[in-house]
Structure 1
Amino acid sequence: MAQTQSPLDPKRICAYMNIALEGLVEALEHSPQTPARTIDILPQDERHRLLVEWNDTATDDPQDRLLHELFEAQAARDPEAVALVYEGAQLSYGELNERANRLAHHLRTLGVGPDVIVGLCVERSFEMIVALLGALKAGGAYLPIDPDYPKDRIAYMIADAAPALVLTQEHLRERLPETITTLRLDADWSVVAQESAANPASRAASQNLAYVIYTSGSTGKPKGVAVIHSGVANYAQSIKGRIADRSGLRFALVSTPAADLGNTSLFASITSGGCLHLFAKETTADAHAIWTRIGWPDGSRGMTKIILAWSICTASRRRPCM
């Protein structure tokens, strides 16, 4: 009897053992000098899967697709599908696309274009995703700035990256240096709302910047890492390819977009037609609350895809989870 941890298939494990034991008996009977390391332990179908199927990585996807174009394709395909959920409110793909388009058109009037950096200092909200997509659609690159960062780190990032402006919210303006140009996504939205809701023509290319993200600075000063469209679009496409046959996926954005961990859930969701749940800051600081929102045990009332820091996983073991 074989005992395995779900979701490993016991029959699959038994097949391994059977092949290995048959090979061992065969070698002992006919060629006892055979080195054990040369005995085949994989069934033929498993060997084919490893050597052929999983190495079939050819793709027909264009290599010059931009990250926001992958999102636009989803918005055009199913504009009524729910793209974002936050604190009980929902935003469809069509609504999200239109808001991002209006912002993109306005940013272009402010000089944003290829390789022009736009800072994002916005709390978790619909506006955070609108700002991110708006910067990309304008042709620029976004610089995520966590509002909870110390003021001196925020000032350092802005001075080092030199964004053309920072998208923020009225109550966060005092967190930013007085000299930086800002656009408040709440107080100034009446001006942005006058812009066109149509997709702006793409100006960026696959080798232009998509975003700039800063390291923690634990070994010295934080360092900016520039990421181009081709790399992150290829990553998003690879995830999309793995889940293309599934619909109704629900993703959770737990980590801050100012860390690359958060981008896995973010990009995977908005480029595949998934529904992205934005967790409030208070929820992300409570491991028990996170696990409650995820839903146990089969995800039927919670998330189907979530990326967590290991500290959250270990913390959940110290508190009972639903």
Structure 2
Amino acid sequence: RDRSQLIIRGLDVQRYDFHSGIAKFDLMMQTWEEQGKIGFAIEYATALFTASTVERMGRHFQQIVDEILQSPDQQIREIGLISMEEEHLLREGFNQTQVNEDWSQSVTALIEEQASVRGHESAVVWEGQSLTYRELNERANQVARFLLEQGCEKNQIVGIMAERSFVMIIGLLAIEKAGCAYLPIDPITPGERIQYLLEDSGIRIVLSHTELIDKVRAMGTTEIAVYDLEDAARYASYECTNPGIQLHPDDLAYVLYTSGSTGNPKGVLLTHGGMTNRLRWMADQYGMDDKEVVLQKTTYTFDVS
């Protein structure tokens, strides 16, 4: 019955709108007929939904009703939920992500740039000590030149197993400076998985440090050479200057292996272009500048860490 036409003999009836301020359910829609039209109202728990969300639900409901009225015989799966304006926003508006950035620079080139313009400032802080950009860059250069002397070639995969320390960062950077891609191996990884990674990746060189050298050698084969990043005398004679290896955005930066939960672990190849893209986005998204300090929370075997 039209709720505006309530007639009781001997009584004058007038509608009174009452709002209790309390939602009886998380979400409830009421409908009524009034003066030849159908009205509806949505009552919702403000602890669960915002006003804008409920308003959008209302527009979507109206869109569904309009579609049904225009074409009553269409199947449910053919009914559109969103308006043409919303569809355009989803397809076009939200996908306008083009930015004018130079993605050709590798992370190693960006670090070399920092070493040039602010080399005396801290690049890495660990256990109360710091390593400046110049020190990081020069020590990585020495290890990179050593790797090149061992015959390392561009896009070759080099393993690294290290605890969190200065040498871990130096080793990662050195591998990339040599034009190679690093395969990080967490020291707590089970031995069977380590052996699989070493064999499947086909690596010939692993960088580690004193405490882990024996563990790596026990897992590997005689064809794999293991070098201690803490052996300063080994790298001291190499030049500190940048090796000058030209890296393309499509060149490999690092390799990560999947968990293997659906079969054997698979190596995923990540490029310099992808890494630069991610880091530049993060700096822009969070407004990072040269005063920021970033906490290394996750293990270095986790992507983009």
The structure where helix makes up a greater share of residues is 1
Structure 1 residue 136 corresponds to structure 2 residue 176? yes
Equivalent position of 1:29 in the other structure: none
Q: Which 5+ residue runs of structure 1 have no aligned equivalent? A: 20-32, 41-48, 267-322
> Counterparts of 1:254 and 1:138 in 2: how far apart (Å)?
27
Which has the greater radius of gyration? 2
Does the 8 A contact of 1:112 with 1:164 survive in 2?
A: no
**Does the C-alpha gap of structure 1 residues 87 and 263 become closer, same or farther in structure 2, counting only changes over 3 Å?**
farther
1:123 to 163, 166, 182: 163
Equivalent position of 2:22 in the other structure: none
State the percentage of identical aligned residues: 35
> Counterparts of 1:121 and 1:198 in 2: how far apart (Å)?
25
> Counterparts of 2:46 and 2:171 in 1: how far apart (Å)?
50
Does the 8 A contact of 2:184 with 2:255 survive in 1?
A: yes
Equivalent position of 2:194 in the other structure: 154
Equivalent position of 1:95 in the other structure: 135
1:84 to 98, 109, 124: 124
Residue 65 (structure 1) shift: 2.2
> Counterparts of 1:83 and 1:108 in 2: how far apart (Å)?
25
Describe the superposition over 1:134-164 as per-residue Cα deviations: whole angstroms up to 9, x where unpaired: 0000100101011111222111111111112
Equivalent position of 2:206 in the other structure: 166
> Counterparts of 2:187 and 2:206 in 1: how far apart (Å)?
12
> Counterparts of 2:285 and 2:153 in 1: how far apart (Å)?
32
Does the 8 A contact of 1:155 with 1:177 survive in 2?
A: no
Does the 8 A contact of 1:113 with 1:203 survive in 2?
A: no
Describe the superposition over 1:168-203 as per-residue Cα deviations: whole angstroms up to 9, x where unpaired: 1122112124522011011x3212122111222123
Equivalent position of 1:189 in the other structure: 232
Structure possessing the higher relative contact order (Cα contacts under 8 Å, 6 or more residues apart): 1
> Counterparts of 2:52 and 2:47 in 1: how far apart (Å)?
10
Number of equivalences? 252
RMSD across aligned C-alpha pairs, in angstroms?
3.7
The 3-state SS of whatever aligns with 2:111 is: helix
Equivalent position of 1:215 in the other structure: 258
The 3-state SS of whatever aligns with 2:196 is: helix
Does the 8 A contact of 2:205 with 2:226 survive in 1?
A: yes
Residue 109 (structure 1) shift: 0.7
> Counterparts of 2:135 and 2:246 in 1: how far apart (Å)?
22
Does the 8 A contact of 1:140 with 1:204 survive in 2?
A: no
Does the 8 A contact of 1:114 with 1:203 survive in 2?
A: no
Does the 8 A contact of 2:217 with 2:226 survive in 1?
A: no
1:240 to 273, 276, 283: 283
Q: TM-score, normalised by structure 1?
A: 0.63
* 1:203 partner amino acid: Q
